[in-house]
């Protein structure tokens, strides 16, 4: 009897969670490709910092407010924030989706999908090694620099999605994108690779030409400018999350401290170059 009661309690909880739907569900037509999620997303600020996914059946829908902007700027939050949205598949076939959280420096957060009889959870962030992330891209080493989550949505079915952001040591500023998984892995990824590869290739060529010019002209104090240009490129590389992906994927500590260190050294080289150039002009 105890086991039966426990099972019935779990099923009742799942039913209540699934009934806590956003006021305006996000309908996915058959030709859906992508969507920026922001306005209309339900947001709850948990000032007690104790609510868990299993507690949301006691939370009244009125406590969630409708977000009125496309971006999420929660700043240095000292409270827990819950985001909730409801996906509805209008297509006659199963949909494979990707939710992408755009900010590679989020410390820790969790993503939940609540169906009719299941709760799936995934916790990620730079607190965890890069190797723990889901691999959604259809290619070797396809784990993305942003945070991505797979969502399988059967035909004519629906699911409630929750994001939980506990108090963080870093600003909670991010964007949410929902993609068709095939479109994200092909068209969008090709465009992204083209832009990033072109940018960093141009930076590399510029640094190479600059280094050769400094070596030939023997204007040695311009090596400070070279360092400034190199560090500026490296700041962009790290800020995009590419350093964590390619250079130190095993070290969460480096990922947490590297950007302020690089930026500090970057400012020092700029200052030294300006001062040296000013002295030379005098």
As averages over each run of 10 residues, the pLDDT of the chain (282 residues) reads 37 40 73 92 92 76 83 92 93 91 95 85 94 71 85 90 92 94 91 95 97 93 92 94 93 92 92 78 56
- Three-state SS for 17? helix
Cβ pair 214, 223 in contact under 8 A:
yes
> Count of alpha carbons within 13 Å of 189, Cβ hemisphere only?
19
According to the model, what pLDDT value does residue 60 have? 63
First-to-last alpha carbon distance for the chain, in angstroms, is 91
* DSSP helix, strand, coil percent of the chain (3-state; round to 5): 45, 25, 30
Nearest to 158 by CA among 14, 18, 10, 13: 18
> Which residues 6+ apart lie within 8 Å of 53 measured at CB?
17, 110, 112, 114, 119, 121, 162, 164
- In this structure, the strands spanning 80-89 and 26-28 are parallel
Sign of CA dihedral 55, 113, 71, 145: positive
Phi, psi of 156 (to 5 degrees): 55, 30
For residues 224 and 208, give the distance between their C-alpha atoms in angstroms, rounded to a whole number. Answer: 15
Q: What's the chain's length in residues? A: 282
Under a CB-based contact definition with an 8 Å cutoff, are residues 84 and 183 in contact? no
Question: Could you give the CA distance from residue 67 to residue 22 in angstroms, rounded to a whole number?
Answer: 11
Could you tell me the pTM of the whole model? 0.84
Angle separating helix axes 223-239 and 189-217, nearest 10 degrees = 170
Query: Is-contact 158 20, C-beta < 8 A?
Result: no
Q: Which pLDDT score is estimated for 2?
A: 36
Query: What are the residues facing 112 on neighbouring strands?
Result: 121, 162
Burial of 188 (0-12, 13-18, 19+ CB in 10 A): middle
Note the Cα 50 to chain centre separation in Å: 24
Q: How far apart are CA 114 and CA 52, in angstroms?
A: 13
pLDDT of residue 7: 34
| pLDDT score for 280 | 59
């Amino acid at each position: 009897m105890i086991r039966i009661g426990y099972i019935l309690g779990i099923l009742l909880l799942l039913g209540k969670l699934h009934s806590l739907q956003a006021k305006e569900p996000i309908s996915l037509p058959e030709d859906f490709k992508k969507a920026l999620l922001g306005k209309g997303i339900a947001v709850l600020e948990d000032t007690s910092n104790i609510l868990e996914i299993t507690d949301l059946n006691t939370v009244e829908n009125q406590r969630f407010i409708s977000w009125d902007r496309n971006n999420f700027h929660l700043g240095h939050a000292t409270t827990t924030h819950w985001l909730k949205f409801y996906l509805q598949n209008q297509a006659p076939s199963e949909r494979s989706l990707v939710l992408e959280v755009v900010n590679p420096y989020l410390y820790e957060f969790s993503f939940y999908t609540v169906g009719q009889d299941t709760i799936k959870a995934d916790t990620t962030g730079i607190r965890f090694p890069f190797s723990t992330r889901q691999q959604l891209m259809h290619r070797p080493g396809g784990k993305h620099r942003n945070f991505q989550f797979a969502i399988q949505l059967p035909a004519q079915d629906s699911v409630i999605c929750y994001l939980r952001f506990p108090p963080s040591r870093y600003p909670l500023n991010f964007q949410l994108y929902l993609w068709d998984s095939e479109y994200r892995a092909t068209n969008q990824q090709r465009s992204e690779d083209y832009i990033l590869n072109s940018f960093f290739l141009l930076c590399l060529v510029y640094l190479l030409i600059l280094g050769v010019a400094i070596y030939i002209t023997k204007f040695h104090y311009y090596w400070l400018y070279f360092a400034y240009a190199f560090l500026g490129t490296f700041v962009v590389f790290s800020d995009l999350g590419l350093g964590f992906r390619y250079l130190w994927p095993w070290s969460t500590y480096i990922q947490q401290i590297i950007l302020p260190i690089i930026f500090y050294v970057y400012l020092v080289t700029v200052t030294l170059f300006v001062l040296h150039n000013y002295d030379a002009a005098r």
